[in-house]
């Protein structure tokens, strides 16, 4: 479904990604793990068109999206739930969700996905008329994910969905990620909680200072002694 070929990204003179290559198959959950500053968020931002690669190619369903705008990429079927949630604080939960479908015209489908979002995240249903800025951190994370799903993405990019959440909410979020995948959405997950991420993923890539240093099945990465020491606290 998605292929990155030797992707380089810079912020001015600072190189963030150094020739990143990876593949994601349809129906997979793939996780990208690494320390802070490794380039994980930049990889997602490059895929969704928020930053553009200085060289290399990004292919989505065999279409070159490397220099496309974010709006074009959303229309092709890539949704992005960003780090820090980025909900619209002065808009209601309903308005935030509806904004996620801004590229769509199919009213029946939008209604169907709205119902799906509030079924996946029952707390959002309870707070549907509340301003997003009044929600807890966990509820804002659910809203960010629900808003991304309103675009009916084939591929969902999730950036640090568990950041700052209480342990019981983290379990809920990862259970929902599994449900989203079972319903047919491919997921690329960036997550500091490597143990939880590898627990739901089919395969993983390890990113270090802008380079992919290792890739394997999630089970093999969980069993890898170097990964255990560096990322799993074992």
**Which spans in 11-121 are helix H?**
40-47, 70-76, 93-99, 107-120
Q: Give the number of other CB atoms < 10 A from CB of residue 89.
A: 13
Neighbouring CB atoms inside 10 A of 107's CB total 9
Q: pLDDT of 91-133, one tens digit each?
A: 999 999 998 888 778 889 899 989 988 888 888 999 999 999 8
* Cβ partners under 8 Å of residue 134, min gap 6: none
* Chain segment 204-219, per-residue pLDDT in tens: 999 999 999 999 999 9
Mean pLDDT of all residues in 148-153: 89
Task: Note the CATH number of domain 1-77+188-234.
Answer: 3.40.50.300
Rg of the Cα trace of the chain?
17
Cα atoms in the 13 Å half-sphere on the side-chain side of 150:
28
Greatest alpha-carbon pair distance for the chain in Å reads 51
Q: Report which of 36, 35, 48 is spatially closest to residue 9, judged by C-alpha positions.
A: 48
């Amino acid at each position: 479904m998605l292929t990155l070929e030797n992707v380089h990204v810079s912020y001015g003179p600072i190189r963030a990604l150094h020739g990143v290559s990876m593949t994601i198959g349809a129906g997979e959950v793939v996780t990208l793990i690494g320390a802070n500053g490794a380039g994980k968020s930049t990889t997602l931002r490059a895929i969704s068109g928020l930053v553009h690669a200085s060289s290399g190619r990004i292919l989505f369903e065999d279409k070159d999206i490397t220099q496309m705008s974010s709006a074009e990429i959303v229309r092709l079927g890539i949704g992005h739930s960003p780090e820090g949630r980025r909900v619209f604080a002065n808009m209601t939960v309903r308005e935030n969700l509806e904004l996620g479908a801004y590229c769509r015209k199919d009213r029946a489908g939008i209604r169907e996905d709205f119902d799906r979002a509030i079924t996946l995240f029952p707390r959002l249903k309870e707070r549907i008329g509340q301003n997003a800025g009044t929600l807890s951190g966990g509820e804002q994370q659910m809203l960010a994910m629900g808003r991304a799903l309103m675009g009916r993405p084939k591929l969902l990019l999730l950036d640090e969905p568990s950041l700052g959440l209480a342990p019981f909410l983290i379990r809920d979020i990862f259970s929902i990620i599994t449900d989203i995948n079972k319903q047919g959405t491919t997921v690329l997950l960036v997550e500091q909680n490597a143990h939880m991420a590898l627990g739901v993923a089919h395969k993983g890539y390890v990113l270090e200072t802008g380079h992919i240093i290792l890739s394997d099945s999630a089970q093999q990465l969980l069993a890898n002694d170097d990964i255990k020491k560096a990322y799993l606290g074992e």
